[in-house]
Structure 1
Amino acid sequence: MRRRRRQHGARQAGFLTTAAVPAAEGRSRPIPATAGIGLRAAHHADFLATRPAIPWVEVHSENFFADGGRQLQVLDAVRRDYGLSLHGVGLSLGSTDPLDPEHLRRLARLVRRVEPALVSEHVAWGSMEGTFLNDLLPMPCTNEALAHLVSRIGQVQDALGRRILVENVSSYLRLAGSEMTEWEFLVALARRAGCLLLLDVNNIFVNAANHGFDPLVYLEAIPPELVAEFHIAGHSVVEAEGETLLVDTHDAPVTAAVWQLLGAALTRIGRRPVLLERDARLPPLPELLAEARLADQLMERAHVRVA
C-alpha cells in the first residue's frame, strides 16, 4: 500500500489552460520489452554519475510538477539517454470528486515537456469531498464504477492527447456488491476506455493470497493485446485480527513466488517492459540494478513470444 504525496498548489478551473512549456530536445527514447527501474531521488546522483546500462526508467509524475529546479534538470538529463515512463499516483481516477484540474494541467505540462514513452495511473480512488487521502484505495467491481472510470479516463486521455495505461492495485478487504471479478473489470475498462493495462504482478499475487483466488486464472483472462507493461515489487506479511495479510509495501526484494508468477505472465501474455519498483528501504543503486537484471534473465529463459 504505497503512500502518495502531492506537491502542487491550489486548484484552478479548466484542464487545458497552461503556461508556456519549455522546449524539449525530442522525445524520450522508446521503451523496449526489457527490465527498467523506478528511479527515486535518493539514486539521482549515482544514476547520473554512473549512467548504468539499463534501457529505461520510471518516475512518479507528481515529483516533477514544479515549474523548474533540480528535479526537472535531472529528468531532462535522464530522458536524453533513457526511455522514460511517467507513473502517476495522485489523479484519483475512481473518486467521485471532480478531477483536480490543477493536477491534470501540471501532468499535461510535464508530458509535453519530456514526451515520455508511457504514461500511467492507478485504478483507484484517493479523495473524498475535497479531502485527499494518502492511499490508493480499490474500486468496487460494479457496472456503475466501470462507467465512472471510463468517463474519467476519457477526460485524462483527452487532456493529455494520448492513450494512458492503468494499473491494478492491492486490496485487503472484500468489497460488498461486486458484480464481476477484478480481472473482468480491468478487461472491460481497457476496452471501453480505449486505454491499456499496466499489470502489477505483485498486486495480483497479494490479492490472490488475501482473497483466495488463483492468480493464474487472473492472467488467463487478460487478452495479451491489452497489456503494455508489467510491474514487480516486494511485499510484506502482516498479522491482522488473527488473519495473515500480504501488503504491497515496495520495501523489500521481489519474492520467489512473485518471480514465478511473472514467468507465468510472460509465458501467457508475452514479453513486455518489466518495471522493478522500490519505494522504501532503498538499497544501493547497483543492488537495485542487479535485481532488475533478474527480470531480463527470466525473459531470456522463459518461452515467451514478443508482442
Structure 2
Amino acid sequence: MPALLQGIGIGLRRSFARELLATDRRVDWLEVIPENWMGFGGKRASLLRACAERWPLVSHSVSLSLGGPDPLDATLLQSLEGFRRQVGLAWWSDHLSYSSANGVRFHDLLPLPSTEEAVEHVVHRIREAQQWVDAPLLVENISYYARMPGGTLDDATFVRAVVEQSGCGLLLDVNNVYVNSINHGFEPRAYIDAMPMDRVRQLHLAGHTRQEDLIIDTHIGPITDGVWDLYRYTLRRAGRLIPTLVEWDQGIPPLDEILDELDRARGEAEAALGEEGTR
C-alpha cells in the first residue's frame, strides 16, 4: 500500500545496481522504469529481485501514451500487472502526455491541448488503465517547450482537472514546474498552490540544462538552487514529507554523488518541515 512508502528514493539504474546493493548509505525506496526491466532474465532479473527484497519499489513507465489517440497498449498493461505481481509495487505512474499516434512511437513526451475535451479524453483513459494494474496509478506533469494550439486552460488547471475527475494520484515533478515557469513565464509557486495536495503521492527532483533562451529538462544533476527552493515551498504547502525521488538519468555519476543529492533532499525536507515532520 502507498502508506508503506516514505522518505527519499532514487531511480534504479543498471549502471550502479550492484554497487547500490552493497552500500550501507540510507536509501528509502527505488523507482524503476519497467520498460528497462520487464521480460528480462539472467543477471538483470537477479539484480531486480535483490533490490525488491531490500527496498520498496514503484514503477514509472514512459510509453503508455495516456493522452494519445490510439487504443491503450494492452500488452504493455498486462506486462505491468505481471511486473507488479513479480516485485510488488506501492504504486505505478506514467505521464500526462502522449507519445504515440497512428501506430507511430515518437520516443518523446508531448503536451496535450489544455482543453475540457482533452481532460475528458484523458480521464476516460486513466480509468481504463487503472482496471489493468492492481496498484494505484499516478500521473506526472511534464515539461513542455510549446503549447498545443486551441488550449483554453492553463497547465495547472488542466493537471488538477485530470487528477480530480479521474480519481488518480499525482506525481508532482517540481523540476518540471520550475523549468516550465522559466520557459513560459509563470510564477512557479502559484502553480504549486493550484495543485490538489491531497492527491500528491510522490515528488520528482532533477537537474536541468540552461541554454541561452531556454531551459531543457535533461535530468542531469546536480539539482539547482531554484528547484531546491521550490521543493521546500512544496513541502511546506503540503505540510508533510511527500515521498521524493532524486532523478539523474544522463551523465550518470558515481553512485555516491547521487546519494549525496539524496542526503541533501533529506536535509532540505528537514529544513522545510522540521525534523519531526519528515518522519
TM-score of the pair, normalised by structure 2 = 0.94
Contact 1:28 1:80 in 2 (8 A): no
Contact 1:28 1:84 in 2 (8 A): no
Contact 1:28 1:79 in 2 (8 A): no
Q: Is 1:299 aligned to residue 273 of structure 2?
A: no
2:223 maps to 254
Within 2, Cα distance between the matches of 1:221 and 1:252? 27
Within 2, Cα distance between the matches of 1:200 and 1:222? 11
Structure 1 residue corresponding to 2:38, chosen from 65, 90, 96: 65
Change (3 A) 1:227 1:306: farther
Structure 2 residue corresponding to 1:216, chosen from 181, 186, 189: 189
1:31 maps to 5
Contact 1:28 1:83 in 2 (8 A): no
Structure 1 residue corresponding to 2:169, chosen from 169, 175, 196: 196
Structure 1 residue corresponding to 2:256, chosen from 258, 265, 286: 286
Change (3 A) 1:262 1:90: same
Say what the alpha-carbon RMSD is for the aligned residues: 1.8
Within 1, Cα distance between the matches of 2:40 and 2:256? 31
Structure 2 residue corresponding to 1:130, chosen from 100, 103, 109: 103
Within 2, Cα distance between the matches of 1:100 and 1:79? 26
Aligned partner of residue 86 in structure 1, secondary structure: strand
Within 2, Cα distance between the matches of 1:174 and 1:191? 22
Contact 1:59 1:87 in 2 (8 A): yes
The count of residues paired between Structure 1 and Structure 2 equals 276
1:9 maps to none
Structure 2 residue corresponding to 1:164, chosen from 137, 150, 164: 137
Change (3 A) 1:51 1:133: farther
1:105 maps to 78
Structure 1: runs of 5+ lacking an equivalent = 1-26
**Residue by residue, what CA displacement relative to the aligned partner does 1:230-282 show, whole Å, maximum 9, x if unpaired?**
0000001124xxxx111100122100110001011011113101100011100
**Residue by residue, what CA displacement relative to the aligned partner does 1:133-156 show, whole Å, maximum 9, x if unpaired?**
110111111111111111111111
Contact 1:37 1:56 in 2 (8 A): yes
Within 2, Cα distance between the matches of 1:119 and 1:176? 30
Within 2, Cα distance between the matches of 1:141 and 1:288? 35
Aligned partner of residue 70 in structure 1, secondary structure: helix
Structure 1 residue corresponding to 2:198, chosen from 203, 215, 225: 225
Q: Report the CA distance between 1:306 and its aligned residue.
A: 6.7
2:125 maps to 152
2:88 maps to 115
Q: Report the CA distance between 1:67 and its aligned residue.
A: 5.0
Identity %: 40
1:277 maps to 247
Q: Report the CA distance between 1:174 and its aligned residue.
A: 2.5
1:266 maps to 235
Within 2, Cα distance between the matches of 1:261 and 1:53? 24
Aligned partner of residue 25 in structure 2, secondary structure: coil
**Residue by residue, what CA displacement relative to the aligned partner does 1:54-107 show, whole Å, maximum 9, x if unpaired?**
111111011122153322221111111112111111111111011111111111
Q: Is 1:95 aligned to residue 68 of structure 2?
A: yes
List, as ranges, runs of 4+ consecutive aligned residues in structure 1 with deviation greater than 4 Å. 304-307
Counterpart amino acid of 1:117? A
Greater Cα offset, 244-253 or 199-208: 244-253
Contact 1:183 1:222 in 2 (8 A): yes
Counterpart amino acid of 1:31? L
Aligned partner of residue 164 in structure 2, secondary structure: helix
Aligned partner of residue 231 in structure 1, secondary structure: strand
Structure 2: runs of 5+ lacking an equivalent = none
Higher helix share: 2
